[in-house]
Amino acid sequence: MVEATKRILIVEDDLNLVLALYRALSHTYKVDTAKTAASGLRKARSLPLDLIILDLNLPDCSGLKITRRLREEGINTPVLVLSGDSSLVSKVDLLDSGANDYVTKPFSLAELRARIRVFMRRDISPVRGVLVSGELELNPSTLRITVNGQELTLRKKEFLILECLVRNAGSGVDRDYLRTYVWGNDKTVSNNSLDVHVKSLRDQLKLVGLSNLIATVHGLGYMYDAKKPKVRV
């Protein structure tokens, strides 16, 4: 059996299909869901995912555009597209946009599970580009941070908090979202524990001359107070 730590995001607006996929997959994988492109992109940027199952025709954006956006941002999490369009042109366009596989609706759950197992057997972490925000460079694949060329050593949870905030730079990130990213589904982690880690992170950033980058958003959580980072692949 595949380890339960593997995590899948399903981006699909058909509630019945989402429920069917959740029931079929949640006993083996951690499953997150989103019903719009906007919420799917937000989760894809912030959650440590092993696979994204993406509907081609979402109400606010096409799966083609979402896949391109992910690749442009340096997020190379494997993408498995679900679509009712079986034409060769559509398949080629999707693969050229960065999708890794394609399943035509209607499909059998047995076939879908088999394709998912292929991705999971690869046993590799999604490769992501280096995030560059001013003098700060953050490499999610190596957990390495440099500031003006000087290496900054953080504990893993501090690193994950910083990565999540940097990816959402300029936008507030709520505490629940941060806790899910850093601690997964551990419901015992309190807001106080998160706040302690954020304080430690702030202290470490201050030591390298990066003060006041992490702002508190009252009633929500935290925000990395800078422009969206560039991605160096």
Here the CATH number for the domain that contains residue 43 is 3.40.50.2300
Would residue 2 count as lying in a domain?
Answer: no
pLDDT score of 214: 95
Q: How many independent structural domains does the chain possess?
A: 2
Same domain, 112 and 151: no
Boundary of a domain, candidates 121, 141, 170: 121
Would residue 174 count as lying in a domain?
Answer: yes
Same domain, 56 and 110: yes
Which structural domain, as residue segments, surrounds residue 95? 7-121
SS3 126: coil
Who wins on pLDDT, 38 or 120? 38
What is the number of other CB atoms lying within 10 angstroms of the CB of residue 178? 23
Residues contacting 116, CB < 8 A, separation 6+ = 8, 25, 29, 51, 80
Mean pLDDT over each residue of the chain, to the nearest integer: 84
SS3 9: strand
What's the pLDDT tens digit per position in 27-72? Answer: 889 999 999 999 999 899 888 888 999 998 898 988 888 988 888 8
pTM above 0.75, yes or no: no
DSSP per position, 172-221: -EEHHHHHHHHHTT-TT--HHHHHHHHHHHHHHHHHTT-TT-EEEETTTE
Would residue 189 count as lying in a domain?
Answer: yes
pLDDT score of 89: 45
Same domain, 99 and 184: no
What's the pLDDT tens digit per position in 77-105? Answer: 889 998 876 654 466 777 777 888 888 88
Boundary of a domain, candidates 99, 121, 143: 121
Same domain, 55 and 143: no
pLDDT score of 125: 44
Here the CATH number for the domain that contains residue 169 is 1.10.10.10
Same domain, 136 and 104: no
**What are the residue ranges of helices labelled H in the chain?**
15-25, 37-46, 63-72, 88-97, 109-121, 156-167, 175-183, 191-207
The alpha carbon dihedral of 167, 169, 175, 177 has a sign of negative
Q: What is the largest distance, in Å, between two alpha-carbon atoms of the chain? A: 56
162 alpha-carbon distance from chain centroid: 14
Same domain, 34 and 94: yes
pLDDT score of 123: 43
Provide mean pLDDT across the span 137-153: 89
Boundary of a domain, candidates 96, 121, 146: 121
Same domain, 111 and 134: no
Would residue 154 count as lying in a domain?
Answer: yes
User: Residue 171 is inside which H or E element, if any?
Assistant: none
Same domain, 94 and 151: no
pLDDT score of 87: 59
The alpha carbon dihedral of 154, 167, 215, 174 has a sign of negative
Q: Are 108 and 206 in contact (CB under 8 A)?
A: no
Who wins on pLDDT, 6 or 10? 10
Would residue 1 count as lying in a domain?
Answer: no
